[in-house]
A and B are shown apart, each in its own frame.
Chain A
Amino acid sequence: MSAAAAGGPRTTADRIRAVGLGLWAALAVLYLFIPIFIVVLFSFNDNKGRFNFTWQGFTLKHWQDPLADADLATALQNSLVIAGITVLIAVVLGTFIAIALVRYGFRGRGAVDLFIFVPLATPEVVLGAALLALFLTLNVNTGFTTIVIAHVMFSISYVVVTVRARLEGMDKFIEEAAMDLGATEWTTFRKITIPMIAPGIASAALLVAALSIDDYVITSFNAGQTQTFPLFIFGATRQGVPPEVNVLATMLLAVVLVLMGVGVMVQRRAARRERPGSAVPKPGAVPSAATS
Chain B
Amino acid sequence: MLNLSARRRRKLFPYLILGPGLLWLIVFFAIPLANQAYVSLQTGDPESGYTFTWAFNTYPDAISTYSDQFLRSFAYAGVATVICFVIGFPLAYFIAFKAGRWRNVMLLLVVVPFFVSYVLRTVSWQLILNDNGWVVARLRDIGVLAPDGRLLATNVAVIAGIAYNFLPFMTLPLYVSLEKIDRRLIEAATDLYASRATAFRRVTLPLALPGIFAGSLLTFIPAVGDFINAALLGTPNQYMIGNVIQSRFLNILDYPTAAALSFVLMAVILVGILAYARVLGTRSLTEAAV
Whether chain B is bound by chain A comes out as yes
Which residues of A pack against B, CB within 8 Å? 1-7, 14, 17-18, 21-22, 24-25, 28-29, 31-36, 38-39, 42, 52-54, 92-94, 96-97, 99-101, 103-104, 106, 112-127, 129-134, 136-137, 149-150, 152-153, 156-157, 160-161, 164-165, 168, 185, 210, 213-214, 216-217, 220-221, 229-230, 233-234, 237, 241, 245-246, 249, 252-253, 256-257, 260, 264, 267, 279-281, 283-287, 289-292
Asked if A249 and B117 sit within 8 Å, CB to CB, the answer is: yes
Q: In angstroms, how far is the closest chain A Cβ from the Cβ of B170?
A: 11
Interface of chain B: mostly helix, strand, loop or mixed: helix
Interface of chain A: mostly helix, strand, loop or mixed: helix
Q: In the assembly, what is the distance between CA of A161 and CA of B196, in Å? A: 35
Q: In angstroms, how far is the closest chain B Cβ from the Cβ of A113?
A: 7
Q: Mark B234-276, 1 if CB is under 8 A from A, else 0.
A: 0000000110011001100001001100110110011001000
Say yes or no for B143: interface residue by CB 8 A criterion: no
Q: In angstroms, how far is the closest chain B Cβ from the Cβ of A245?
A: 7
Say yes or no for B22: interface residue by CB 8 A criterion: yes
Say yes or no for B63: interface residue by CB 8 A criterion: no
User: Interface size for chain B: under 10, 10 to 19, 20 to 34, or 35 or more residues?
Assistant: 35 or more
- Which residues does chain B contribute within 8 Å of A253, judged by CB atoms? 112, 115-116
Q: In the assembly, what is the distance between CA of A246 and CA of B127, in Å? A: 13
Asked if A283 and B103 sit within 8 Å, CB to CB, the answer is: yes
The listed residue (B99, B126, B164, B249) touching A221 by CB distance below 8 A is B249
Asked if A123 and B269 sit within 8 Å, CB to CB, the answer is: yes
Asked if B24 and A214 sit within 8 Å, CB to CB, the answer is: no
Q: In the assembly, what is the distance between CA of A121 and CA of B224, in Å? A: 11
Asked if B123 and A125 sit within 8 Å, CB to CB, the answer is: no
Closest to B20 in A: A93
- Which residues does chain B contribute within 8 Å of A123, judged by CB atoms? 221-222, 224-226, 242, 265-266, 269
| 29 examples of A-B residue contacts, CB within 8 angstroms | A2-B195, A2-B196, A6-B187, A6-B196, A21-B98, A25-B99, A31-B167, A32-B167, A36-B121, A53-B130, A53-B133, A100-B15, A100-B18, A112-B18, A119-B29, A123-B265, A125-B227, A129-B246, A129-B249, A131-B28, A133-B36, A136-B255, A156-B24, A220-B250, A237-B232, A256-B115, A264-B108, A283-B179, A291-B175
The listed residue (A1, A38, A165, A281) touching B195 by CB distance below 8 A is A1
- Which residues does chain B contribute within 8 Å of A92, judged by CB atoms? 20
> If A264-B104, A290-B168 touch, does A130 touch B35 (CB 8 Å cutoff)?
yes
> If A126-B266, A260-B108 touch, does A21 touch B255 (CB 8 Å cutoff)?
no
The 9 closest A-B CB pairs, nearest first, are: A123-B225, A93-B21, A35-B124, A104-B14, A25-B94, A130-B32, A96-B17, A134-B32, A100-B14
Q: In angstroms, how far is the closest chain A Cβ from the Cβ of B73?
A: 9
- Which residues does chain A contribute within 8 Å of B179, judged by CB atoms? 283-284
> If A217-B227, A286-B107 touch, does A36 touch B113 (CB 8 Å cutoff)?
yes
Q: In the assembly, what is the distance between CA of A291 and CA of B80, in Å? A: 20
The listed residue (A21, A99, A103, A137) touching B35 by CB distance below 8 A is A137
Say yes or no for B209: interface residue by CB 8 A criterion: no
- Which residues does chain A contribute within 8 Å of B172, judged by CB atoms? 287, 290-291
Q: In angstroms, how far is the closest chain A Cβ from the Cβ of B107?
A: 5
Q: In angstroms, how far is the closest chain A Cβ from the Cβ of B94?
A: 4
Q: Mark B6-23, 1 if CB is under 8 A from A, else 0.
A: 000111011101101110
- Which residues does chain A contribute within 8 Å of B270, judged by CB atoms? 121
The listed residue (A35, A100, A122, A124) touching B17 by CB distance below 8 A is A100
Asked if B119 and A137 sit within 8 Å, CB to CB, the answer is: no
Say yes or no for B105: interface residue by CB 8 A criterion: yes
Asked if B289 and A161 sit within 8 Å, CB to CB, the answer is: yes
Closest to A209 in B: B115
Contacts beyond the supplied A53-B133, A230-B118: 8 A-B pairs with Cβ under 8 Å: A28-B171, A35-B128, A99-B17, A100-B17, A120-B285, A230-B120, A246-B120, A264-B105
Asked if B250 and A156 sit within 8 Å, CB to CB, the answer is: no
User: Which of A32, A214, A253, A284 counts the most B-chain CB atoms under 10 A from its CB?
Assistant: A32
Closest to A32 in B: B113
- Which residues does chain A contribute within 8 Å of B245, judged by CB atoms? 125-126, 129
Q: Which of B53-61, B64-72, B85-93 touches A?
A: B85-93
Q: In angstroms, how far is the closest chain A Cβ from the Cβ of B256?
A: 10
Q: In the assembly, what is the distance between CA of A164 and CA of B18, in Å? A: 13
Closest to A213 in B: B117
Asked if B290 and A164 sit within 8 Å, CB to CB, the answer is: yes
Say yes or no for B39: interface residue by CB 8 A criterion: yes
The listed residue (B28, B91, B284) touching A24 by CB distance below 8 A is B91
Q: In the assembly, what is the distance between CA of A32 and CA of B235, in Å? A: 24
- Which residues does chain B contribute within 8 Å of A114, judged by CB atoms? 284
Asked if A5 and B191 sit within 8 Å, CB to CB, the answer is: yes
Asked if B25 and A24 sit within 8 Å, CB to CB, the answer is: no
> If A121-B285, A134-B31 touch, does A245 touch B110 (CB 8 Å cutoff)?
no
Q: In the assembly, what is the distance between CA of A236 and CA of B163, in Å? A: 24
Q: In the assembly, what is the distance between CA of A252 and CA of B17, in Å? A: 35
Q: In the assembly, what is the distance between CA of A39 and CA of B124, in Å? A: 6
Q: In the assembly, what is the distance between CA of A43 and CA of B22, in Å? A: 43
Q: In the assembly, what is the distance between CA of A251 and CA of B75, in Å? A: 37
Interface residues of B in 106-150 (CB under 8 A from A): 106-121, 123-128, 130, 132-133
Q: In the assembly, what is the distance between CA of A166 and CA of B112, in Å? A: 22
